[in-house]
Chain A
């Protein structure tokens, strides 16, 4: 087979690979077929990578280059495999965020290399000069988006791992730095694109310096964009960074002229965009509001410390257990507190006990409960909760009226009735789980501390609500023991 034939074969493999990606994603539309879908997608990846290796091995390729390929792959692949195998399921958001970072970083590096290679010899010879502006455009789009994704995702990872505080970190003047880096990065990029198009001419070292400025601006922007974001906004941020990574990979496809990268990147970009929109809707915030530095938007509303009107009623573990044991319908409302305490297995055990008594148990999942889209679903699936019991907000909300006990574990803002009624509340308008419509409510909570939004939850002073102060895991264990006694 000569090189051209091989080239065609490789192109053909890319089509097969891209098709397998699409089919694989399509099969994700049901939990029953999702695993097959992921494996098909992996098969597509293996085909594409094998084809590319076969292709490059036909060229003049030195031992050193092979060392880079094999060494880099072994190092990265080994690290990735180790992380993926050993990490706790509760650590999933940070792992996803970390993979966003490396994916975006790798895409950015491709463009960076391309820029350096191109400017070593000025513009590609033989092409239409005006269009090299396009090429530079894609290079810069890739470098900028890739860099923002890289540092932004690393900060998100650090926040999720607890290395950085989960609360919004507000650096004085951070907003100004953000805007400065946006304006500066974009204007420098425009100058570079004009240079690529041949409109203006600079010495090579000036071009490199300008590129360096754009790169630093993008890296800094990634940091200042994510730092002020609170933990509860993470589902939006991770989705957004996911969309960014996809875009960066697509742009890299334009740069290295590879259709497979363009398709795969576009699919990921679309997925990230959809999830971002869903998460933003679930928090009643518009995407522009989020994009234009709206993340720190709630800092002015760190409300006054009132628990006005009503008193908090504490419930003993035995009372709570009796309520649960004699209910006919129980809805469990999990939140991030459950993930932190790793209480998912206990919750499942409690649900099993209740079901054994003939009680109907389901789980109400708010779209933004936890730190990433679908976080609670994965945790409960890990504890072997059958997925038909996991109910979405719109599906379960009408059922609270005939629910005997709503058991809220580690969730706060997503159950706050103020979102429905109190116009002055920062979360006013956010769709919530209507737990206050249940006949009685038991809230397992460590203390009277407020949720991420820093606002009071009138649910806790509702006469129907009993507060059970305990760590989620410990509290659930106590409930299990008490229900067994009933």
Chain B
């Protein structure tokens, strides 16, 4: 491993962690399950590594490892995003409430409860 590559990678790693703390600490408790599910799909990025491995695999052992890694990562990515989307589509402000005085269309606004 080359020194400059190591330092570059460590820089990216440290900054990404700090960025992650910053961004994620603003997610409200209401969305913690979708957040976890969403970050779950993000770690499916290991699929990119698995593709690289599968492309260079020679011999039965490497091929086997690559196949399992591909299947694992594939399930992770596809399942993760689909289930997160399914979850998030359920979060609604007030679906069909005739009693509600507020216009249901108003999207973001600054809602106290969405903290």
B66 → A minimal CB distance (Å): 5
Given B37, B55, B73, which contacts A59 in the complex, CB threshold below 8 Å? B55
Tell me the A38-66 residues at the B interface (CB within 8 Å): 38-39, 41-42, 45, 48-49, 52-53, 56, 59, 61, 64-65
Chain B positions 63 through 77: 1 when the CB is less than 8 Å from some CB of chain A, otherwise 0: 101111111111111
Q: Is A266 positioned at the interface, with any CB of B under 8 Å from its CB? A: yes
Given B16, B54, B91, B95, which contacts A267 in the complex, CB threshold below 8 Å? B16
Q: Is A69 positioned at the interface, with any CB of B under 8 Å from its CB? A: yes
A196 → B minimal CB distance (Å): 9
Tell me the B27-81 residues at the A interface (CB within 8 Å): 27-57, 61-63, 65-81
A419 → B minimal CB distance (Å): 19
A interface secondary structure, majority: helix
Given A76, A113, A267, A377, which contacts B72 in the complex, CB threshold below 8 Å? A76
B35 → A minimal CB distance (Å): 5
Interchain CA distance A83-B86 in the complex, whole Å: 12
Q: Is A239 positioned at the interface, with any CB of B under 8 Å from its CB? A: yes
Report whether B34 and A103 are in contact in the complex, using a CB–CB cutoff of 8 Å: no
Report whether A32 and B93 are in contact in the complex, using a CB–CB cutoff of 8 Å: yes
Tier of interface size on chain B: 35 or more
Tell me the B80-109 residues at the A interface (CB within 8 Å): 80-95, 97, 99, 107-108
Interchain CA distance A124-B107 in the complex, whole Å: 55
B31 → A minimal CB distance (Å): 6
Question: What are 16 inter-chain pairs, A to B, with CB distance below 8 A?
Answer: A38-B41, A38-B84, A77-B74, A81-B78, A83-B75, A84-B80, A92-B33, A102-B73, A105-B68, A106-B49, A106-B76, A131-B2, A242-B39, A253-B49, A266-B13, A278-B29
Binding site for B on A (CB under 8 A): 17-18, 21-22, 24-26, 28-35, 37-39, 41-42, 45, 48-49, 52-53, 56, 59, 61, 64-65, 68-69, 71-81, 83-85, 87, 89, 92, 95-96, 99-100, 102-103, 105-107, 109-110, 112-113, 116-117, 124, 127-128, 131-132, 134-135, 238-239, 242, 245-246, 249-250, 252-254, 256-275, 278, 355-356, 365, 367, 372-375, 377-378, 381-382, 384, 386-392, 395
Q: A38-B88, A75-B74, A384-B90 are in contact. List 4 more A-B contacts (CB 8 A).
A: A53-B51, A84-B79, A261-B46, A273-B21
Binding site for A on B (CB under 8 A): 1-3, 5-6, 8-9, 12-13, 16-21, 23-57, 61-63, 65-95, 97, 99, 107-108, 111-115
